[in-house]
Amino acid sequence: MVNDSIKITYLFVSGRKSRTTSKEKYAREFFYSYDYFKNKYKSTEIIEFNDVTKYSKILKKLLSYIDRFLRKILKFPIFMHEIVNLKNFSRIMNTDILVITNDRIGFSILPIMLAKKISRKRYLSSNVFVLGLFSNLGNNFIQKFIQKIVLSFYFSTYDNFIFIGKSEYEFAINYAEKYSNKFEYIPFSIDEKFWTNSKNKKDNDILFIGNDGNRDFEKLNKISTILNELDFVYVTKNIKKEEIKQDNVTLVEGHWNYNFLTDTDIKEFYERSKLTIIPLKDSIQPSGQSVALQSMSIGTPVLISKTKGFWDHTYFKNRENIYFIDGECSAEDWAKRIKEILSNKKELENISRRGEKLIKDNFNLESFNKKMENIVGL
């Protein structure tokens, strides 16, 4: 039975509204249980950045100047001009449950949240997904002091902070113990019903997918140059065609938020590749998470840098269901490891099978949705 008495509002940067109105099939993990709640609670809506109305253009310009100043001083992702307007103000003020899907949005709607608290309007919960919040912490004493004050205010404003990487979650508890009762950990999970193998022929050797700043694009290019006998496919918008000198690389422009490719296109790249590689720079942010889980769910093994931010060391074991390589390893080390992996077909098949089972058993949307329902207070 659909409940229409509870209003739920999801806030995203972009890429969701266009998918929900498209005829194309899409994976649901980056909706963070929106579809699940929409089926149960009729008044579940999406707000995205740049949902701008005509009457808010002056406000948008003023806020953009304030944003620039605050970003320069605080080093936090503040973009009020992208989301603060009268329409969004009204929706957020009158919603029962807020699900804010990253810190950029969390910081950007702080003025509205303050108004909501001052008005003493009753609501169930405000929930923020934390993704790389601590990546920009300052090095000098003054900046650290200012950021500590800002983060204390941030943590006091919202009810729950949801971490999808265990390392980042543990860092947060140590950094802000006072607010640790607000911190929740849910392992990032994928739409395992979508990411299944259609048994396409594996006619590509190595696949790389990704755009975030923690991907090591320079090392990637060195690896493909060394392994010029292997075919590589890059799916990214952060490498330009002129940067690629080697002829064994196929570059495909891709970015999830902008729908350059459908999820079905991405799925086919996984299916047709023998190995997915994820070279990363060291960070506590759980980078490479979605690509690794999607690839493993389809049965394409993953080789990934072992970083401080790797999301779960309990389930993921080197040469059992995934391949790890030390984050400090050179491109030459990567090339050597890739050749070793591809030469051992029996082990590759076993890791493919065990990795696929791991994801479908432990990192599926059903368990993620139930945990989300509990956290938001439904």
What is the mean pLDDT of the segment spanning 84-89? 89
**Span 108-140, pLDDT tens digits:** 999 999 999 898 878 889 999 999 899 888 888
Q: Are 303 and 275 members of one domain?
A: yes
Question: pLDDT tens for residues 1-35?
Answer: 567 789 999 999 988 998 888 888 899 999 999 99
* 168/75 Cα distance (integer angstroms): 18
- Please indicate, yes or no, whether residues 346 and 369 belong to a single structural domain of this protein: no
182 and 253 assigned to the same domain: no
Asked if residue 371 and residue 352 are part of one domain, the reply reads no
| Residue 310 falls inside a structural domain | yes
160-163/183-185 β-pairing = parallel
What's the confidence (pLDDT) of residue 139? 83
pLDDT tier at 57, thresholds 50, 70, 90: confident
Q: Is residue 358 part of a domain?
A: yes
Four-CA torsion 74, 77, 82, 85, nearest 10 degrees: -60
Q: What is the pTM of this model?
A: 0.90
Q: Are residues 158 and 226 in the same domain?
A: no
151, 211: one domain: no
Range of the domain at 288: 204-362
pLDDT average, residue stretch 276-303: 93
Residues 156 and 220 in one domain: no
- Average of per-residue pLDDT values in the chain: 92
Return the top range by mean pLDDT from 4-8, 54-58, 255-259, 274-278. 274-278
- Compute the average pLDDT of residues 221-247: 93
User: Are residues 99 and 239 located together in one domain of the fold?
Assistant: no
The CATH number covering residue 94 comes to 3.40.50
Residue type, 274: K
Q: Domains in the chain: how many in total?
A: 2
Q: What is the mean pLDDT of residues 279-292?
A: 90
Beta bridge partners of 324: 304
pLDDT number for residue 130 = 96
Q: Which residues contact 198 (CB under 8 A, 6 or more apart)?
A: 267, 268, 271
Cα–Cα distances (Å) from 338 to 280, 287, 324, 331, in that order, read: 15, 20, 11, 10
Claim to verify: residue 157 and residue 213 sit in the same structural domain: no
Are 151 and 22 in the same domain?
Answer: yes
Confidence of residue 155 (pLDDT cuts 50, 70, 90): very high
**Is residue 145 packed enough to be buried (19+ CB in 10 Å), middle (13-18) or exposed (0-12)?**
exposed
CA–CA dist 256, 15 (Å, integer): 7
**For residue 338, which of 209, 228, 198, 218 has the smallest C-alpha distance?**
228
Would you state the pLDDT for residue 312?
Answer: 78
- Does residue 217 sit in the same domain as residue 138? no
Both tokens of 181, joined, read 């009762």
Are 139 and 177 members of one domain? yes
